[in-house]
Chain A
Amino acid sequence: MAETTFMGVPREKIDWSPRIDYTKCNYCMECVKFCPHDVYEIREGEEKKLIVKNPNNCVVFCRACGKTCGVDALSFPNKNETTKMIKELRKEMEGNE
């Protein structure tokens, strides 16, 4: 089961997940093997044999799958900007209460 909130903020409002650079990816699938959160999906027979299926399952600030990638095809959003955004969202939510 995926977390639905992160520090009180609905997970889908936080843009944090791996981006695949398809010009680099060699479909070794090490990232898929590594990630226990069902973020990726393998699509046999399609041109893009690997996609980010469930971006909101990705643990916010985790970049561990990127460290398994031999061809450096995975990137993530900027951490500082993400933190800022989470803080802003929390403020907004407090204001709405």
Chain B
Amino acid sequence: MSKSYALLPCNGLDKCAGCISREVAIKVCENSDSEIICPVLYRVADARYNKIAQEKPLIVIDGCNTRCASRLASEKSLKIAQKINISDEAKANNIELHNSLKLNDEDFKLVNIIADNLLKEEEKVISSLDTDFPEKFEYEIYKKDKFIFRVPKEGFYFNENDCYVYVVGNRARIGVTDYVQQSLSDIMFFTPPAVGSEIEQFGEAGTIESGKAVFEVVSPVSGTVVAVNEKLLNSPELINENPYEKGWIEEIELSDFESDKELLYDFNKYFEIMKRKVDEFHV
């Protein structure tokens, strides 16, 4: 069965990675029923692409962390099904990108690896477990202009990086606080960590992304990722709606919570810190 994507490469002509993004899009297009969205034309005349951008699952291909393609998708309010970052892929495959704009054999090797992965049937091993986490919490609220910042009053611990943990038995849910989702505004993409992977306290536990920025989820606890909130893959906006309830990020089997706890804040301390951050930084 042929795949059918809308492909939005950054097509950055001033960088090797941008040139590779274009080749990946071409290769996927040639080997499937997909269509390429030209970012240049799309920006000035979007009528040409509105239909395919809405009907087909969208793959955004950024060359580098400037994320031109992602930002364009955000500007046009597109739903992103999958994201590729060429620079990250190069690192993961031990291929060093060079400064020349003409692609060499190594670059084409990378093009083939990425395109083949996209063309393969995806096998998703993501599971959500039914554990006993409450669905509703009580909040203390801090308001600034039209923005509302909620912090749950009981049972949560926080780190200075605005991520929370809620523990039930030897398992915990982690996520971000209202401060993060308000600062990012509309969250359009969630990159989960691999289920089964081990995370140290303060290690990266996935990323969430808006048109404004990429936020690294800083894990408040150490342990093994046992589940991710798969609803976020299609509806990352759940984090904006309520990051403590339906917008939780992942579940972790704890390895040493007693020790982790020493480097975390309770509600009282975090609420003070958050209020100060809101007053100083939130505009």
* B65 interfacial contact with A, CB 8 Å: yes
Which of A36, A72, A79 is the one whose CB lies under 8 Å from B202?
Answer: A79
> How far does the Cβ of B109 sit from chain A's closest Cβ, in whole Å?
20
Given known pairs A61-B160, A61-B161, A68-B213, the reply for A83 and B66 (CB within 8 Å) is: no
Given known pairs A86-B263, A87-B263, the reply for A7 and B160 (CB within 8 Å) is: yes
- Inter-chain CA distance A82–B66, complex, in Å, is 28
- Inter-chain CA distance A90–B259, complex, in Å, is 12
Please tell me if the beta carbons of A80 and B66 are within 8 angstroms of each other in the complex. no
Please tell me if the beta carbons of A6 and B160 are within 8 angstroms of each other in the complex. yes
- Inter-chain CA distance A7–B159, complex, in Å, is 9
Taken residue by residue from 215 to 235, chain B's Cβ proximity to chain A (1 for < 8 Å, 0 otherwise) reads as 110100000000000000000
> How far does the Cβ of B15 sit from chain A's closest Cβ, in whole Å?
8
Which of B201, B213, B216 is the one whose CB lies under 8 Å from A34?
Answer: B213
* Best-buried of B65, B66, B203, B215 by chain A (most CB within 10 Å): B65
B-side contacts of A90, CB under 8 Å: 262
> How far does the Cβ of B246 sit from chain A's closest Cβ, in whole Å?
25
A-side contacts of B177, CB under 8 Å: none
* B280 interfacial contact with A, CB 8 Å: yes
**Total number of A-B contacts with CB less than 8 angstroms?**
60
* A64 interfacial contact with B, CB 8 Å: yes
A-side contacts of B214, CB under 8 Å: 64, 67-68
B-side contacts of A72, CB under 8 Å: 64-65, 87
- Inter-chain CA distance A83–B202, complex, in Å, is 8
> How far does the Cβ of A70 sit from chain B's closest Cβ, in whole Å?
4
B-side contacts of A68, CB under 8 Å: 65-66, 213-214
* Best-buried of A28, A60, A67, A86 by chain B (most CB within 10 Å): A67
> What size tier do the contact residues of chain B reach?
20 to 34
Q: For residues 181 through 221 of chain B, which have their beta carbon under 8 Å from a beta carbon of chain A?
A: 200-203, 207, 213-216, 218
Which of B64, B202, B215 is the one whose CB lies under 8 Å from A70?
Answer: B64
A-side contacts of B202, CB under 8 Å: 61, 79, 82-83
- Inter-chain CA distance A34–B215, complex, in Å, is 12
* A52 interfacial contact with B, CB 8 Å: no
A-side contacts of B64, CB under 8 Å: 70-72
Which of A28, A59, A69, A80 is the one whose CB lies under 8 Å from B200?
Answer: A80
- Inter-chain CA distance A31–B207, complex, in Å, is 18
Which of A34, A36, A80 is the one whose CB lies under 8 Å from B203?
Answer: A80
- Inter-chain CA distance A3–B265, complex, in Å, is 15
Q: Which residue in chain A gives the minimum CB-CB distance to B88?
A: A72
Which of A7, A34, A69 is the one whose CB lies under 8 Å from B263?
Answer: A7
* 22 pairs, CB–CB < 8 Å, chain A vs chain B: A7-B262, A34-B213, A36-B281, A59-B160, A59-B161, A61-B160, A61-B202, A62-B218, A64-B214, A66-B65, A67-B207, A67-B214, A70-B66, A72-B65, A79-B202, A79-B203, A80-B203, A82-B202, A83-B200, A83-B201, A83-B263, A87-B263
Residues of B within 8 A of A (CB): 15, 64-66, 87, 159-161, 200-203, 207, 213-216, 218, 262-263, 280-281
Residues of A within 8 A of B (CB): 1, 3, 6-7, 28, 30, 34, 36, 59-64, 66-72, 79-80, 82-83, 86-87, 90
13 A-B pairs besides A72-B65, A87-B263 with CB distance below 8 A are: A1-B280, A30-B66, A61-B159, A66-B65, A67-B216, A70-B15, A70-B65, A71-B64, A72-B64, A80-B200, A83-B200, A83-B201, A87-B262
